[in-house]
Amino acid sequence: MIKFFRHIRKSLLMENKTGKYFKYAIGETVLVVIGILIALQINNWNEKQKDIEKEQQILNSLKEEFIQNINELEFDHELNLNCIDALKVLLNFDTSSNFETRTIDSLIGRAYNFATFDPRLGVINDLNSSGNLELIRDPKLRYALNQWTGELNDYKEDIIIRREYWIKNYSPLVNKYIPLRNTDQFIDRTDYTRNFKVNNRQIPKSNYIEFLTNIETDGALFDYYLNQSFVTINEDNILSFLEKTIKLIEANIEDD
């Protein structure tokens, strides 16, 4: 093609057709520029398509990760609500009633059976570290994803407070009156398996009554109830955030 244009220019010069030569040269330049612009546009379109394909891969990975987080959080949240229900019964328990000690063992076991949500953050951490978050075109979704790890901060603080309180305050108080081993059979969850059976230790019923009527126990139960309540409130907020965000993710996934 270049040889062809060069041949035409040479013929025009040899024939002394300078005016036509300049017009042709200008036309040739315009065609070259147009060609370059078209090539750049095609290249830009190809790059944009690659970015869109990569964005779609990211969105599908995010969807999978968020679904896993929702499932795990719902599982943990149910355990924590069950824990709160047991604490409510213990706080209002009537020791003058004709109760069986295993009832208290059961309630303490349920109260001990709390859970901590451990979110999967592999995809979102990779997005933040690689800068690929900018590939997501929807500004609302991009903003929500930027807020995700921040949503966990309050929750992390509350679970630390709850665990430390249990270890330092509540658990020693229970052990003072009632063997924790007696509660093991009532800790029922799929992620806790036993390789052997823990036999109960028989103690007087008076230990249970003293445990429930003790002022220190009452305060410890109530503090633990408050700590667990703050955890479940944060879980509700996180679950709501995850459900709203996954709707945004699904809205941005294009059908094949």
pLDDT bucket at 187, cuts 50 / 70 / 90? confident
Calculate mean pLDDT across residues 87-115.
Answer: 93
Greater pLDDT, 145 or 40 = 145
Measured CA to CA, the distance from residue 77 to residue 242 in angstroms comes to 14
Domain residue limits at 178: 2-252
Q: What are the angstrom distances between the C-alpha of 34 and each of 9, 38, 73, 75, 253?
A: 20, 6, 57, 61, 35
Res 11 pLDDT > 60: no
Measured CA to CA, the distance from residue 55 to residue 49 in angstroms comes to 10
Predicted pLDDT of residue 18:
54
Which residues fall within 8 angstroms of residue 12, CB to CB, at 6 or more apart?
18, 20, 21, 24
Please say whether the beta carbons of 55 and 136 come within 8 A: yes
Predicted pLDDT of residue 151:
87
Predicted pLDDT of residue 12:
47
Q: How many CB atoms lie within 10 A of CB 227?
A: 21
Which residues fall within 8 angstroms of residue 179, CB to CB, at 6 or more apart?
200, 201, 203
Summarised one tens digit per residue, pLDDT across range 196-243 is 778 888 999 999 999 999 999 999 999 999 999 999 999 999 999 999
Task: Pick the closest to residue 58 from 118, 133, 131, 6 (CA basis).
Answer: 133
Task: Pick the closest to residue 118 from 78, 71, 162, 150 (CA basis).
Answer: 71
Greater pLDDT, 139 or 12 = 139
Q: What is the tally of structural domains in the chain?
A: 1
Measured CA to CA, the distance from residue 125 to residue 122 in angstroms comes to 5
Measured CA to CA, the distance from residue 129 to residue 115 in angstroms comes to 30
Res 158 pLDDT > 60: yes
Predicted pLDDT of residue 2:
47
Calculate mean pLDDT across residues 175-183.
Answer: 89
Calculate mean pLDDT across residues 144-157.
Answer: 90
**DSSP annotation of 168:** I
Greater pLDDT, 221 or 20 = 221
Summarised one tens digit per residue, pLDDT across range 56-69 is 999 999 999 999 99
Measured CA to CA, the distance from residue 59 to residue 254 in angstroms comes to 10
pLDDT bucket at 33, cuts 50 / 70 / 90? low
Calculate mean pLDDT across residues 124-150.
Answer: 92
- The percent of residues in the chain predicted with pLDDT above 70, rounded, is 79
